[in-house]
Structure 1
Amino acid sequence: MEKIGFIGYGAMGSMIIRGILRSGVLKESEMIISTRSLNKLSDLQKSHPEIEIAQSNKTVAEKSQKIFLFIKTGQVKESLEEINDHTSVNTHIICIAAGLTIENIEKVFPGKISKVIPSLTSEVNEGISLVAHNLQVTPEDAEFVEKIFQSIGEVKIVNEKEFPIATNLTSSAPAFISFIIMKFTESALEHDIFTRKEAEEMVTETLYGTAKLLQEKDLTFEDVIRQVATKGGITEEGLKVLDQGLTPLFDELFASTLKKYEKVETQLDNEYEN
Structure 2
Amino acid sequence: MRVAFIGTGSMGSLLIEAFLRSGALLPQSICASNRSQSKTKLLAQRHPGLHVVRSNVEAVQGSKIIFLCVKPLDFSKVIAEITDALDEKQIIVSITSPVEVGILEQLTPAKVAKIVPSITHSVHSGSSLCIYGKRIRPEDRLLLEQLMSSISTPFTLKETETRIASDIASCGPAFMAYMLQLWAESAEELTGISREDALKLGSQMLLGTGKLLTEGGFTTNQLIDRVSVPGGVTAQGLAVLESGLRGVFDRLIEATHRKYDEDLSKLHTLFGPLSSTKNP
Q: TM-score, normalised by structure 1?
A: 0.93
User: Does the alignment pair 1:83 with 2:59?
Assistant: no
Q: Secondary structure at the match of 1:217?
A: coil
Q: Which amino acid aligns with 2:265?
A: T
Query: In the aligned structure 1, how far is the partner of 2:158 from the partner of 2:215?
Result: 28
Q: Secondary structure at the match of 2:246?
A: helix
Query: What's the CA shift string for 1:43-81, capped at 9, x where partnerless?
Result: 322333222211111111222242111111121111111
Q: Which amino acid aligns with 1:215?
A: T
Q: Which amino acid aligns with 1:242?
A: L
| Structure 1: tracts of 5 or more residues without a match | none
Q: 2:237 matched to which residue of 1?
A: 238
Query: In the aligned structure 2, how far is the partner of 1:188 from the partner of 1:19?
Result: 34
Q: Which amino acid aligns with 2:67?
A: F
Q: Secondary structure at the match of 2:128?
A: strand
Q: 2:252 matched to which residue of 1?
A: 253
Report the CA distance between 1:107 and its aligned residue: 4.1
Report the CA distance between 1:148 and its aligned residue: 1.5
Q: Is the Cα–Cα contact under 8 Å of residues 187 and 195 in structure 2 kept in the other structure?
A: no
Report the CA distance between 1:124 and its aligned residue: 0.4
Q: Which amino acid aligns with 1:133?
A: Y
Query: In the aligned structure 2, how far is the partner of 1:58 from the partner of 1:159?
Result: 30
Q: 2:103 matched to which residue of 1?
A: 104
User: Does the alignment pair 1:71 with 2:70?
Assistant: yes
Query: In the aligned structure 2, how far is the partner of 1:206 from the partner of 1:66?
Result: 38
Q: Secondary structure at the match of 2:79?
A: helix
Deviates more, 1:65-74 or 1:164-173: 65-74
Deviates more, 1:20-29 or 1:7-16: 20-29
Q: Secondary structure at the match of 1:58?
A: helix
Deviates more, 1:97-106 or 1:241-250: 97-106
Q: TM-score, normalised by structure 2?
A: 0.91
User: Does the alignment pair 1:54 with 2:53?
Assistant: yes
Query: In the aligned structure 2, how far is the partner of 1:198 from the partner of 1:89?
Result: 54
Aligned alpha-carbon RMSD (Å)? 1.7
User: Does the alignment pair 1:199 with 2:219?
Assistant: no
Q: Is the Cα–Cα contact under 8 Å of residues 54 and 60 in structure 1 kept in the other structure?
A: yes
Point out 4+ residue stretches in structure 1 off by more than 4 angstroms: none
Q: Is the Cα–Cα contact under 8 Å of residues 3 and 65 in structure 1 kept in the other structure?
A: yes
| Structure 2: tracts of 5 or more residues without a match | 274-280
Report the CA distance between 1:110 and its aligned residue: 4.6
Query: In the aligned structure 1, how far is the partner of 2:115 from the partner of 2:207?
Result: 26
Query: In the aligned structure 1, how far is the partner of 2:226 from the partner of 2:29?
Result: 50
Q: Which amino acid aligns with 1:34?
A: S
Deviates more, 1:182-191 or 1:75-84: 182-191
Report the CA distance between 1:98 and its aligned residue: 2.6
Q: Is the Cα–Cα contact under 8 Å of residues 5 and 68 in structure 1 kept in the other structure?
A: yes
Query: In the aligned structure 2, how far is the partner of 1:185 from the partner of 1:156?
Result: 32
Q: Is the Cα–Cα contact under 8 Å of residues 2 and 62 in structure 2 kept in the other structure?
A: yes
